[in-house]
Amino acid sequence: MMAKGMTVKLLVCKECGKTSDEERFYSCTKTRCARCENNRRKIKYHSDSEYRIKRLKSNLSSRIRNGRYLITRKAYDKKYNQKNYEKVRQSKKKWEINNPEKRRMKVRRRRERERQLAGSCSAEQWSHRVNYHENRCYYCKSSSKLTMDHRIPISRKGYGWPSNLVPACLSCNSQKRDMTEKEYRQWLNENNR
């Protein structure tokens, strides 16, 4: 509402060219009417969302590329570890001495993974497995103290059913690490053990 005797200031919109009073213009710039300003904002919002989508796609493709990089990096690390077995072993031992808390956490996480395995083996089932293998190591046939070994390791999504468990002496079980049974036998043949 206008009071008596007040003059109305008319402005021309730069977008549509229409003339209207000052109250109908966007308050900050006073160059566009409210309708043109709202249309401009909608267009800007849509272009921003398109930009976001493009950005997400580029991030996804870079993650895939990095995933490929990680796979090749793992293969490289595996080869390096095999060539420099003693050096890697000593550095791991040194790390374990310097980081006892982290080592404990690593062991704890492994045990937690073991507890959440698919399948389980009772003491009776385990004793039947040991008797089936004549109280000998499944790999080297020695009769020293036996431990429970997973043919398909837990780290490789192995399971806890008795069919995946075999008795192994402590040295074979620790040498096997995260190898499958086939890989370990190959390793034994290559190293003449």
Whole-prediction pTM:
0.42
Tokens encoding 121: 């083996």
**What's the CATH number for 120-193?**
1.10.30.50
Torsion from C-alpha of 161, 167, 169, 172, nearest 10 degrees:
-60
pLDDT in tens, 97-115: 998 878 877 876 677 677 6
pLDDT, position 90 = 95
In this structure, how many other beta carbons lie within 10 angstroms of the beta carbon of residue 16?
Answer: 13
Tokens encoding 173: 């079980």
pLDDT, position 89 = 93
Per-residue pLDDT of the chain (193 residues; tens, 9 = 90+): 455 555 666 667 766 777 766 666 555 556 666 666 666 655 554 555 566 666 666 655 555 555 555 556 677 788 888 899 999 999 999 999 998 878 877 876 677 677 677 777 777 888 899 999 999 999 999 988 898 898 998 888 888 788 998 999 999 999 998 999 999 999 999 987 6
Q: Which distant-in-sequence residues (6+ apart) come within 8 Å of 155 by Cβ? A: 113, 178
Q: Domain ranges for the chain, please list them.
A: 10-78, 120-193
